[in-house]
Structures are given as C-alpha cells and as structure tokens.
A and B are shown apart, each in its own frame.
Chain A
Amino acid sequence: MNCRDILYTTVLFVLLPMWIGYLWVELLKLKDGWSRLVHAWVMGFATMLAVAQVILVPLVALKATLTLAMILWQTALSALSVCSFFLLLRRLKSGKLFGRRAEKKKWQTWSIVFGVLAAVMILIQAYIPARYEHGDDDDARFIAEEVSAVVHDTMYIDDPIAGELMYWNQGEVKKDLTSPWAMYMAMCARISDIPPAVLSHTYAPFFLILLCYAVYLLIGHVLMRGDWEKTFLFLVFLSVVHLWGYTSTHTLASMLLLRIWQGKAVCASFMIPLFFYLMYRLMHREYHKVWLGFLYVAATGACLLSGIGIITVPVILLLYGIVDFVVYRDRKKTVTILMAAVPNAAFLLYYLIR
C-alpha cells in the first residue's frame, strides 16, 4: 500500500461517488448531515455503475477500446459532477452546506458503547481482506479479463485462459457482455494506474465493505425508525452474523468478506440490500417520488454487476411490489415499481438473442 494508490482509490470509491450522489441528496431534500453524506455515497456509487452499464454494453458489443469507454464514462461523470457543483454553489449561497445538524441531544451511554463497538467490528471486517490474502479461483476469469483490457486496450476480445483473440462471446465470458463489472474495474485500474489484481485484492475490498455497511446502516436506521441505540446494536449483531457466517462459500457473509471485489459479491452484498432499503423507503402511503426514479438507476446498475443482478432485481421488485400493493392498493406506484425492471428485461433479452 502506498499513499498515492490510497488517494486514487479514495477518490474513485468514496469522494467521486459522494460528489455525484449529492445530486440525489438535493433532489430528495434530505436534511440531516450524516444522512446526506451516507446517502450521497451509496446513491452516487450506484449511479456510477448505471452510467458505466449504459456505456459499456454497447461499446463491448461494438468491440470498441477500453480508452473510448473510459472517455465516455469520464465525460458522463464530469457532466454529473458539474451539476452537483452548481447545486453545491446554490447551497453555499443559502448557507446550509452541511444540512441540518443533528438535534442537540445528549448521546446515551449505550448508544456510544454500541456505536464504538459497531465501528470497530466494521473496520476489522474491512481491514482484514485488504491486509491479508484470500485466493478465489473465479479471479482466473475476472482479473485476467481486467489485465487484458488494461494492457491491450480492448474489452472481452481475448479469452482469459490462452489469450487467443475472438473469444469474447463464448462460454462463461458471454455472460460478461451484459454484466461488464470487470471492465468497470479495468477502467478504475487504468485511471489509478494500479495493476488490476492489486486494485481488486488490496484496495477495493476495504472501500467496498465499508460501502456495504453504509447501506446496512441506512437499513438499520429505517428499520429502527431513527433510534440510534438500536441501529448501532443492529450493526453489532449484523457484524457478528457476518463474522461467523462461513457455513458455506455461498452465504451473504462469505460473499461480503471473502470476495467482495467480484461483481456477483457486490450484487449480493451491496445492490440487493440497497433494493431492500429502497423498498423500505417506498413501502409507505406517503413517499418521496425521487426514490422511484432512483429505483430505475439502481436497477440498471445491478445489471453491470452480474447476471444474477439482472435476474434477482426484477424478482425483488415483483415480490415487494406485490406486498406493497396488497397493503396500500396504490396501482400507479406498483406499476412504476414493476416498470423499474425494464432495464433488466432489456439486458436479459439482449443476452438471449446474442
């Protein structure tokens, strides 16, 4: 680890997503400072995934270069950043840059104890995968694809085993056409000039695990109806379940703590829980319409991560949509929720007809 690499990865995985996510925070008119920060990070990262998906899939199909994909992705992110900048300027003029400060209340002893305990446990979970080595054979495909993309400036046109050309639409690699997470990581590797294996194994796990826990914090906070003491205890229990969840290599805990750098693990640990959170936000009689809009963006981002993201998100939307309809009978809302699966259906169809 060196300072330069830490700086680049902090920008790519934390600061840039926060900056872009600021757009959503403003649209949602979130008030609390901490809430604005965490929402900006989570929603910004999902937006970056969605933008990459829209750009990468056609370019992979056209056998374009990684450089072209990067230029378009950076241009789109720059445009979003400029929008955020103007919103920030507007907010500066109004003198409410950091949102409403949390109401002055005396933190109870147990809130502090559980909060510190949760923070320590989460940091341990983020640190160990970055500090120590865990080998996963699936990297033979994903990271080999990233290395080839960075070195040859191509996307999925040589096979990850022999490096022979014209292989991109065969075997398991065909799945990557509609879920190009490896090219997302390749772009990050190219921008930061960090070898893909180092980026994936050393730097990305630390930030991605913290990002996942940011989503879990939001879930806890909404489930516990804003009670911090309960929210922190929720995170403590969640950490314990994850730390002792190695009953198989397939569990959510194993995905989170053993191979978070792979797209399917990000899907299981970040994107699916994010959909839980979005549905918890929407399952009220009164809700902010912007959450519905973000549902579409997140659904597109889920497609980038893995084929399982393309399939599970429509199922989640359907199941929670059914429950919501049964409870509230809001036909318009249910249809809008179900329509968020359209990007997934489109990418699934594209995969099937290729």
Chain B
Amino acid sequence: MITYCYAVWDEFVNFIGGRSGILHWIIFCAALVFCAFLGKGDRKRLFWPSVLVLLFFFNPVFYATIGIRFLSGIYWRILWMLPVSFVIAYALTQFTFKWKKNVVRVTVVVAACVCIAVTGEREFSKETYQEKENAYEISQAAIEISDVVMGSLMDWKENIIVPNELLCDVRQYSCSVGLLYGRNAGGFITDIEDDERAVYEEMSREEPDLEIVTGIAKNRNCRYIVFNTSFHRIPEDLSGYGYEKLTVVQEDYAVYRRIPE
C-alpha cells in the first residue's frame, strides 16, 4: 500500500510540475478553503466536488484497482476534474468584491494578478512558441524531404530513414512517406522491432555505423536514407554501401537513394 501511496504522490508531482507548480497549488488550496466559507451554494458547487476529486485521486485503493489497469502513466489526468483555475478565479473575484472602495479593489486585482504571474510560469514564451516555418507548423526540412521522395515514388509509398529530429514531422505532411521507425523509438504508439532499434541507435550517434544502417535499410526496403550533416559525420560518397547522394535540403539534410541493382 505504501508503494501505491508513493506512486500516487509521484503522479501528483508530475501533474503540478514539481516545485514550479507548488505555489499555484497553495493558492488553489487557499482559494478552496475560502470558497468553503463563502456560503452553502459555493460549498456544494466548488468545495465538496473538489474535495471528492482529491479523495478519489489520493486514494491508493482506487489507484491500485482502476489507475494501474486503465490509466497507467496518465493517472494524473484525473486531476483535470479538479476545477483549479475556476476556483482560484472565483475566490479572487469574490475576495476583490469584499472591498467597497474602487481604489482598494483595483489594488487587490493588480496584486492578485502579479502574485499569480510571479508564482507561475509563462505559457507563451520562446520556449513554447516559435515563428512558423510554414503553414503546416512542422519542420520545413520534413516537407522538402517528403516532396523529394514523393517526386519519384516507385510504389504507393516509400519507406525512409530520417534523423531523429524529423521523426514526428514527416507523416504529418505526407502519408506517401513511411518511416522505418518513428515515435515508437521513444516508447510511444507501438513496440519497436530489434532491427529498427539498431538503426535508431546508430542514427543517434554522431558517427553512425553505415554498414548496419544501410544493411538493415536494404533488408527493410528503405530506398531513402536522410542524414543531418550538421550532426552526422559520414563520408560524402556512400556508393560503396549501395546508396547515392540525391540532393541536399535546407543546407544540412543529405538525401541518399538506393542505387538500382
């Protein structure tokens, strides 16, 4: 049972974002207690449902029976049922209107906003949003590589190997380009096979073992391999491995195509 308690706590910490989120949670808890004293209506709409959600979430028996079985890895999503932002906003609004003078009200509003801002993290920043490269909002290199592959399709789709930073982008643009491995390399969507894992590990190195990469690529019918030359240190000529350089996109991405036998 102690193990489950720790596991639930880890899920909670994961949800709030550790120390960076603790202050917003303290504000939420204070707001919830404030709501409990506002009146019967607020207790039944905000306080008691929130308390029940917290009891549900921090219940190791619920975690052991339902959480592990149906919500493995995403148990923290139970906390979406907790009206955190609504309770904070509601309590602050009611608190503001407890004061009669407008000057005091404005001061309270400004102070509350500053308090939330200082204790939180900005949602819009250079870390979260960048200038668009294109309307698709995916890497321009992924689009240009896909266009190169689609320009000479030999079948209804081609399988290709791309550098790790493009794994999530290519299929958002075109379904004519299949990947030997994609997000499954990170443990998502589906299991990755041994040979795919081997290629992924090589492509994660600065100096990939081209024998392994091209060998598996040929076995798995991958006609195209893309290297990021700003990261991968590979020889210009791969004809000895059965691949020829087709083009370079976005200055860094060298597209190699299998030489017909």
Contact = CB atoms under 8 A, between A and B. Distances in A.
A58 B168 CA distance: 29
A34 interface: no
Contacts of B178: 161-164
A275 B247 CA distance: 54
Interface of A is mostly: helix
A135 B130 CA distance: 9
B96 A233 contact: yes
Interface string B70-87: 110010111011011110
Contacts of B113: 236-237, 240
A323 B49 contact: yes
Nearest to B90: A223
B171 to A, nearest CB: 4
A161 B184 contact: yes
A253 B85 contact: yes
Interface string A236-253: 111011111111111111
A244 B125 CA distance: 10
B204 interface: no
A155 to B, nearest CB: 13
Interface stretch (B13-21, B226-234, B251-259): B13-21
Interface string A11-51: 00000000000000000000000000000000000000000
A315 B56 contact: yes
B93 A242 contact: no
A84 to B, nearest CB: 31
A181 interface: no
B14 A197 contact: no
A350 interface: no
A339 interface: no
Interface of A: 1, 110, 128-129, 131-135, 137-141, 143-144, 147-148, 151-152, 158-164, 167, 170-173, 195-198, 201-202, 216, 219-220, 223-224, 230, 233-238, 240-255, 257-258, 264, 267-268, 272-273, 276, 279-280, 283, 308, 311-312, 315-316, 319-320, 322-324, 327
Given A132-B130, A198-B136, A236-B113, 16 more contacts: A133-B133, A139-B168, A140-B189, A171-B184, A172-B188, A230-B93, A233-B97, A240-B113, A241-B88, A243-B123, A244-B123, A248-B18, A248-B21, A257-B124, A268-B80, A272-B80
9 contacts: A128-B124, A161-B189, A195-B173, A197-B136, A197-B138, A233-B97, A237-B88, A308-B77, A312-B81
